[in-house]
Amino acid sequence: MKSTELKNIIQGIPKTELHLHLEGSFEPELMFEIAKRNNITLDYDTVESLKKAYKFNNLQEFLDIYYLGAKVLIHEQDFFDLTWAYLTKVHSQNVVHVEVFFDPQTHTERGVSFDVVINGIKKALEKGKEELNISYKLIMSYLRHLSEEEAFKTLEEALPFKDWIDGVGLDSSEVGNPPSKFINVFEASAKHGFKLVAHAGEEGPVEYIWEALDHLKIDRIDHGNRCLDDDTLVQKLIEDNIALTLCPLSNLELKVIQKMEDHNIVEILDRGIMATINSDDPAYFGGYMNENYYETAKVFNLSKDQLLQLAINGFEASWLSPVDKDKHILNVKNYFSALN
Ligand code: HPA
Ligand SMILES: [Zn+2]
């Protein structure tokens, strides 16, 4: 297939995004604009010099820059602008449903209050629903390099906004911060009615995926690349219908894999696991949804059936109602039928 044809097909697929950190969608241009109006000096003089620093050897090197960038977000308007920029971008790529993470502790630790953060995000998400017809879920992520006690504090702060938050997640530095560190706060979060996800098996070992399932009782795994290390786990993922939110360009940029050809997405799909494609931190990893689909499809010469499966998986793995899932999946199937 010619690259323009492949790009056109991907563009037209009605897509979901289930693994996206809003702070990771912070484009340098907007970062400079917000820094300026907040009278904050960035460590870099220009957008170009900042972009040049986006070269990472591992997750931690990325996180260090990602947390620095987030420091310019102070006011509700900043969080609104960040979220709105993401929504308009993915709208242009025919993304119709998003389930996005925010990291409240990255902001509350700096003295920005929880309500400022969530009010800005929520207003943009609502506007996106009204004006762009993008449905959404919001996921509050606990930072795993911090203590469980601090996660509990965040849970308390979130409770007045419980109706706006659909689930909780776990992100940041994985190795050395296993899911088991957060058993109690995940149990408490579940009692409050939040759905549960966690990053596991990105850089960390397959045991972390087991822990996330057995101890945290999550119902979707973020990344989970390492799952193929354990056949028993593969069986469990299939039997329990547990989806993985894979992020191919992220894995490449963070050297989880050395080249795209090394990605195990096709094997994961072939084994019958519900894999989805997502962008993680698109402003840092060189691509949003279309680019993640395209780079994967190009390297593995994905068939239309495989693209169809990935797109359907995105809706199946989402937290949409069964009726909404069916409606979207029918749209996806009709889209692919019309291509042939
Ligand atoms: O890929 C990620 N892994 C862990 N933490 C993160 N925070 C933003 N992106 C990531
Ligand atoms: Zn992530």
**Where do the domains of the chain lie, and which CATH numbers do they carry?**
3-24+75-339 (3.20.20.140)
* Cα 152 from chain centre: 22
CA distance 76 to 272: 43
Please state, rounded to an integer, the average pLDDT across all residues of the chain.
Answer: 98
What is the per-residue pLDDT across 101-157, written as a single tens digit (0 to 9) for each? 999 999 999 999 999 999 999 999 999 999 999 999 999 999 999 999 999 999 999
Confidence of residue 225 (pLDDT cuts 50, 70, 90): very high
Q: Residue 205: is its pLDDT beyond 80?
A: yes
The angle at the Cα of 135, spanning 250 to 339, to the nearest 5 degrees, equals 75
Verify whether ligand 1 is closer than 6 Å to residue 250 (CB atom): yes
Cα–Cα distances (Å) from 40 to 27, 32, 57, 223, in that order, read: 16, 9, 28, 34
The Å distance, Cα 300 to ligand 2 centre, comes to 23
Q: Residue 14: is its pLDDT beyond 90?
A: yes
The Å distance, Cα 247 to ligand 1 centre, comes to 10
Tokens linked to 305: 């059936």
Mutate-to-test residue for ligand 1 from 20, 59, 103, 175, highest number of ligand atoms within 8 A of CB:
59
- Whether residue 21 is annotated as binding a ligand: the answer is yes
The 10 Å Cβ neighbour count of residue 126 is 12
CA distance 299 to 315: 24
- Whether residue 199 is annotated as binding a ligand: the answer is yes
CA distance 276 to 252: 16
- Whether residue 215 is annotated as binding a ligand: the answer is no
CA distance 211 to 218: 9
The 10 Å Cβ neighbour count of residue 231 is 10
Q: Residue 340: is its pLDDT beyond 80?
A: no
pTM of the model: 0.98
CA distance 200 to 207: 9
Average pLDDT over residues 202-220: 98
pLDDT at 178: 98
Determine the atom of ligand 1 nearest the C-alpha atom of 247: 1
Residue 296's closest CA among 254, 327, 266?
266
What is the per-residue pLDDT across 145-196, written as a single tens digit (0 to 9) for each? 999 999 999 999 999 999 999 999 999 999 999 999 999 999 999 999 999 9
Determine the atom of ligand 1 nearest the C-alpha atom of 21: 8
CA distance 290 to 19: 14
ipTM, two decimals: 0.95
Verify whether ligand 1 is closer than 6 Å to residue 295 (CB atom): no
Average pLDDT over residues 22-38: 98
* CA pseudo-torsion sign 311, 316, 319, 324: positive
What is the per-residue pLDDT across 247-282, written as a single tens digit (0 to 9) for each? 999 999 999 999 999 999 999 999 999 999 999 999
CA distance 96 to 91: 7
Confidence of residue 1 (pLDDT cuts 50, 70, 90): confident
Residue 248's closest CA among 198, 282, 213, 209?
282
Tokens linked to 4: 């323009």
pLDDT at 92: 98
Tokens 């390099």 found at: 145
